[in-house]
Amino acid sequence: MAMQVGEHDSGDDVPMSDINTTPLVDVMLVLLIIFLITVPVVVQSVPITLPAVRNEATETKPENVSLTVRGGPGGACEVYWNLTPITSEELLDRAVQALEKQIAAVGGVENINEENMPEVHIRGDINTPYKCIGGTVFTMQRAGFARVGFISQPPAGGPVTRL
């Protein structure tokens, strides 16, 4: 705030009580520019609908494939079909055979629907590298399985919430 002493109409030296607003206007303009630049960045987003999370019991059908994936020594991937360890080539062959068996059991490809289509349930260790689980998902999709899901253990003591 500045104070200016100057002449008034009466000729007496009277202090002038006007506020110097230049610094205030400068600060407000800078803040306005900052908000004009940052608000569109914060507001812009891709419109999506996030899924509602609920704890769903896994429906186990005999034709479903249960896989367990974990990281092995030296960055290798270990895949288990039920309790049997298998390689990625064996996984592909066994998956194709399982799908062909299910197709034959329902009477052909034209009879496959949502109810009788087998699913793949993958259980992955928390420390498993992404390449192991991603490779398993890719192999199962390559074999022809359309439904691949992940089995997880919800935290104890309440409903499941997504972070």
Q: In the chain, how many domains are there?
A: 2
* pLDDT at 6 (0 to 100): 55
Strands in 77-81's sheet, in edge-to-edge order, are: 84-86, 77-81, 65-71, 119-124, 147-151
Q: Could you list the beta-strand ranges (E) of the chain.
A: 4-7, 13-16, 65-71, 77-81, 84-86, 119-124, 147-151
What pLDDT is stored for residue 154 in this prediction? Answer: 62
Stretch among 59-63, 131-135, 147-151 having the lowest mean pLDDT: 59-63
Q: 123-135 pLDDT, tens per residue?
A: 887 788 889 889 9
Based on the fold, state whether residues 146 and 99 are members of the same structural domain. Answer: yes
Is the Cα dihedral 64, 70, 76, 82 positive or negative? Answer: negative
Residue 30 lies in domain: 4-43
Q: Is the domain of 78 the same as that of 134? A: yes
Together in a domain, 32 and 98: no
Domain-embedded: residue 134: yes
Token pair for 79: 């895949």
Percent of the chain topping pLDDT 90: 17
Domain assignment of residue 58, yes or no: no
CA distance 7 to 5: 7
Q: Are 23 and 91 within one domain?
A: no
Average pLDDT, the chain: 79
CATH of the domain at 141: 3.30.420.270
Q: Is residue 71 part of a domain?
A: yes
Same domain, 76 and 146: yes
